[in-house]
Amino acid sequence: MRLSKTVATSLVVAGSSLATNAASSSFDYVVVGGGTAGLVVASRLTEDPSISVLVLEAGHSDSIDFNVTVPGLDLTVTGGSIVDWNYTTAPQQFLLNRTIAYPRGFVLGGSSSTNFMAYTRGAAAGYDAWAKLGNPGWDWKGVFPYFKKSTHFTPPFKNQSEVVFDITAYENPTGGPLELSYGGYIEPISIYFSQGLANTSGPNLQEGEINDGFPIGQAYLPLTVDPTHMTRSSSSASFLAVAAQRKNLQVITSALATRLLFAPTTPANPTPVVTGVEYSDVNGKLQQATATREVVLSAGTFGSPQLLMVSGIGPKKDLTAQNIPIRVQNEAVGQNMWDHLFFGPIYEVTDNITTFNQFNANQTLFLKYLMQWRNNQGELSGAISSMSAYERIPSDVLANIPGGDQLEALDPTWPHIQLEVIAGGGPPTPQPGNFVAPAAVLLYPFSKGFVSLTSNSTKDKVIVQPNWLSSETDRQAAIWAFKQVREVMLSETLAPIVIREAFPGLQAQSDADILTAIQTVAHPIYQASGTCAMRQLSDEGVVDPTLKVYGVKNLRVVDASIMPIIPSANTMAPTYMIAEKGADLIKADQQNNSTSTTTSS
Ligand SMILES: Cc1cc2nc3c(=O)[nH]c(=O)nc-3n(C[C@H](O)[C@H](O)[C@H](O)COP(=O)(O)OP(=O)(O)OC[C@H]3O[C@@H](n4cnc5c(N)ncnc54)[C@H](O)[C@@H]3O)c2cc1C
Ligand SMILES: *[C@@H]1O[C@H](CO)[C@@H](O)[C@H](O)[C@H]1NC(C)=O
Ligand SMILES: *[C@@H]1O[C@H](CO)[C@@H](O)[C@H](O)[C@H]1NC(C)=O
Ligand SMILES: *[C@@H]1O[C@H](CO)[C@@H](O)[C@H](O)[C@H]1NC(C)=O
Ligand SMILES: *[C@@H]1O[C@H](CO)[C@@H](O)[C@H](O)[C@H]1NC(C)=O
Ligand SMILES: *[C@@H]1O[C@H](CO)[C@@H](O)[C@H](O)[C@H]1NC(C)=O
Ligand SMILES: *[C@@H]1O[C@H](CO)[C@@H](O)[C@H](O)[C@H]1NC(C)=O
Ligand SMILES: *[C@@H]1O[C@H](CO)[C@@H](O)[C@H](O)[C@H]1NC(C)=O
Ligand SMILES: *[C@@H]1O[C@H](CO)[C@@H](O)[C@H](O)[C@H]1NC(C)=O
Ligand SMILES: *[C@@H]1O[C@H](CO)[C@@H](O)[C@H](O)[C@H]1NC(C)=O
Ligand SMILES: *[C@@H]1O[C@H](CO)[C@@H](O)[C@H](O)[C@H]1NC(C)=O
């Protein structure tokens, strides 16, 4: 089907600067990856007309798939779509050996063009912990202004009276280009789930602002949705749109970075100096782009460590296995992959609870919703999930979990578990019916994974090994969280609309049965981070606190891969923050007129 809506989205505005070949081959900066972070960096750096920037994006222009624009069609632009990389994990030993799809945006805007748009920052204490690892300026006080900098917040409409918010978490005198709103539709199942969670004799999670650094409680979430036309506000629709007409910015799509380029080293100058990027253009022809100042890697948690490794920066074992000459041995590259896990039971609900199952199965209904969306209303003007709750696992429960003391030791404002509900889904063995998927998320898992090479080329995908539930602490925390979801769904509040538990079914009561249920359905909510961690070199760091890669000159990483500890939130908002702060760190070095130097090697 061809969809259309006459609105000024990035695909119109960005057209003028989009190309598949570079007009020039030398720039001050080359940014690899036109994703969430990359387009922020490029947009901020080109505010100075004397600075030239090239962005290399492997994927397509976002105009290739109109569904990117429609919030309620978010599921159609994930795995298996033309705008996705289609990663699949290695077999998960602790999830019944399943291999699991792992979406990543293959498009301008990157995963911000394909994600579920929930804007969440997590606990202030989490960022304070980043700073304590030796990253001055990355504490909550240091990062809060950068969270605010990127966004323009539209408060809830009068008819969204269920939304509780605190404007001081958002207000920003200058206003950034990224649009935040509560969309045009709040899923009824989210409203029921929210009421169940607020039950004072149950979970007792009360509504309040969750983006002020103190997320414990629950809220309807701000979404990256432009309320003017209820369209997705990706980094392309926002940051690239404002920069697209600048003559000092070039964005090339279908441009896969294949290798970093280096100046020859000499005994007098043994530190490798990055001079540019080799890439494969739309015709598969290798090209070179020179960066006279720096190369910025914003290729994401899978792409950035891959490009480092194929360029000779990484663990000895991985590099030698692919016959890649070692330039800088750093055992941490690609390691410490930290990710949230998502799981829960499935319920059949009454037909008056709207789900995506309904409009997927009924073309008439879909067209009706599409008409409503044109009027900024209805199912398609919101995301598939409208609220989240954040809570601690109680101390008496943690006391009986091996390793539970480590969760107990986190700052008391740092939540362990996120709860939310997806308006749609179904049991693992498909059945007819109207289903919803309430779920829990482990916010501070101890299971860590890695990405590793399968060849010396970025044309081949990396192995993604999250190792989910390899930690006993995580398994026990997951069982507790699953029971919590079930308690809410089976409570009096939800009784009018819940028909039955369709998966695993109420016969599954023992911890062993619940663990099996979790292992059967668990999947990521796509928050992979940490594979180029901002830590000290002696503490498995890949980048320093100014995001410069250890051991080389003129190279930074600016994306979700630098997170040294996963935030207690979905990772899009933290990624925008990292990109805003990263751009300022790069600008600070320009003012000193120094070439970028590394702190140690
Ligand atoms: C389906 C899905 C749903 C999600 N839902 C949410 C949500 O609701 N809320 C939330 O907060 N977070 C969500 N996330 C996570 C969030 O979107 C990501 O954490 C964030 O967008 C990561 O940004 P990034 O800049 O690190 O990477 P990306 O945005 O993925 O950008 C990386 C870019 O680099 C490009 N690239 C990679 N390799 C190369 C190469 N070799 N050469 C050239 N280009 C390259 C890619 O094509 C891509 O455009 C979701 C993610 C997904 C996939
Ligand atoms: C867009 O979404 C609609 C509705 O789910 C679907 O029919 C269509 O195939 C999708 N288009 C693309 C290009 O994915
Ligand atoms: C992902 O799979 C879809 C469907 O097969 C395909 O159209 C798309 O090109 C694939 N993406 C990549 C990057 O290979
Ligand atoms: C998973 O694979 C391992 C190794 O191949 C095997 O030993 C184990 O029995 C498998 N587990 C399940 C649940 O199939
Ligand atoms: C809610 O109010 C907004 C702004 O006034 C309006 O655009 C939208 O259509 C309303 N939604 C419904 C469902 O009435
Ligand atoms: C509140 O929670 C209690 C304890 O879990 C539960 O028994 C009860 O059904 C809930 N009440 C409502 C109104 O949901
Ligand atoms: C499909 O949706 C239309 C419009 O809401 C509705 O009238 C019709 O009954 C639905 N069809 C089925 C089979 O549910
Ligand atoms: C990568 O490996 C292939 C064979 O495995 C080899 O032909 C090629 O030269 C290598 N490329 C580089 C850049 O080392
Ligand atoms: C849905 O239907 C149930 C059962 O008829 C009713 O109790 C409930 O109020 C309805 N909810 C909504 C949101 O329409
Ligand atoms: C730039 O120079 C000033 C003054 O020497 C110094 O205080 C500052 O730390 C430098 N900034 C960077 C990013 O090096
Ligand atoms: C930095 O360099 C620019 C151009 O090379 C020059 O105009 C400017 O005065 C220099 N600034 C400082 C602080 O040295």
Q: What pLDDT was estimated at residue 10?
A: 29
* C-beta separation of 78 from 100 below 8 A: no
Query: What DSSP letter does each residue of 481-516 carry, written as one string?
Result: HHHHHHHHHTSTTTTTTEEEEEES-TT--SHHHHHH
CA nearest to 338, candidates 175, 560, 510, 182: 560
Q: Is residue 444 part of a domain?
A: no
Report residues of the chain scoring pLDDT below 70: 1-17, 23, 592-601
Which of 601, 464, 434, 439 minimizes the C-alpha distance to 529? 464
* Binding-site positions: 107
pLDDT digits (tens, 9 = 90+) for 276-321: 999 999 999 999 999 999 999 999 999 999 999 999 999 999 999 9
Q: What is the DSSP annotation of 198-262?
A: H-TTTT---B--SSSS---EEEEPPBSEETTTTEE--TIIIIIHHHTT-TTEEEESS-EEEEEEE
Cβ(84) – ligand 3 distance below 6 Å: yes
Over residues 203-251, the pLDDT tens digits come to 999 999 999 999 999 999 999 999 999 999 999 999 999 999 999 999 9
Q: Is the CB of 376 under 6 A from ligand 3?
A: no
- Indicate which atom in ligand 4 lies nearest the CA of residue 96: 13
Q: Which domain holds residue 586?
A: 10-63+237-334+531-591
504 preceded by a cis bond (ω within 30 of 0):
yes
Cα 61 from Cα 268, distance rounded (Å): 44
Interval between CA 251 and ligand 11 midpoint (Å): 27
3-state secondary structure of 552: coil
Residue 99 near ligand 4, beta carbon < 6 Å: no
For residue 446, what are the contacts with CB-CB under 8 A and spacing of at least 6? 403, 406, 471, 473, 474
Any ligand 9 atom below 6 A from CB of 496: yes
Annotated binding site for FAD: 107
Of 20, 23, 21, 43, the C-alpha closest to 31 is 43
What is the distance, to the nearest Å, from the Cα of residue 16 to the centroid of all Cα atoms in its chain?
28
Nearest-ligand number for the alpha carbon of 205: 6
Asked if residue 315 is part of any domain, the answer here is: yes
State which ligand 6 atom lies nearest to the alpha carbon of 487. 5
Among protein residues, the one with the nearest Cα to ligand 9's atom 6 is 496
Q: Looking at ligand 3, which residue's alpha carbon is closest to its atom 14? A: 85
User: H-type helices in 382-536, by residue range?
Assistant: 395-398, 404-408, 472-489, 511-521
What pLDDT score does 172 carry? 85
Q: 154 CB under 6 A from ligand 5?
A: no
Q: Whose CA is nearest to atom 14 of ligand 7?
A: 362
Residue 587 counted as domain residue: yes
Task: Return the structure tokens found at 170.
Answer: 């958002």
| CB-ligand 4 contact for 97 (6 Å cutoff) | yes
pLDDT attached to residue 24: 74
Assess whether the C-beta atom of 501 lies below 6 angstroms from ligand 3.
Answer: no
CA distance 212 to 245: 35
User: Does 319 fall in a domain?
Assistant: yes
Contacts with 238 (C-beta within 8 Å, 6 or more apart), sequence order: 10, 150, 176, 177, 178, 179, 224
- The reply to whether 88 falls in a domain is no
**Does residue 82 sit within a domain?**
no
Q: Is residue 552 part of a domain?
A: yes
Q: Which pLDDT tens digit goes with each residue over 542-558?
A: 999 999 999 999 999 99
Q: Report the DSSP beta bridge partners of residue 463.
A: 452
Find all residues with CB under 8 Å of 366, minimum gap 6, and list them.
359, 360
d(CA 569, CA 567): 5
Closest of 566, 577, 576, 578 to residue 129, by C-alpha: 566
Alpha-carbon distance of 487 to 97, in angstroms, equals 29
The ligand 9 atom nearest the CA atom of 496: 7
- Where are the alpha helices (H) located in 97-175, listed in sequence order? 124-132, 140-149
Distance of CA 58 to the CA centre of its chain: 18
Beta strands 101-102 and 256-262 are: unpaired
- Domains contained in the chain, number: 1
For ligand 2, is residue 354 a contact (CB within 6 Å)? Answer: no
Q: Residue 544's domain is classified under what CATH number?
A: 3.50.50.60
76 in contact with ligand 2, CB cutoff 6 A: yes
Nearest ligand 3 atom, CA 85? 13
In a domain, 142, yes or no: no
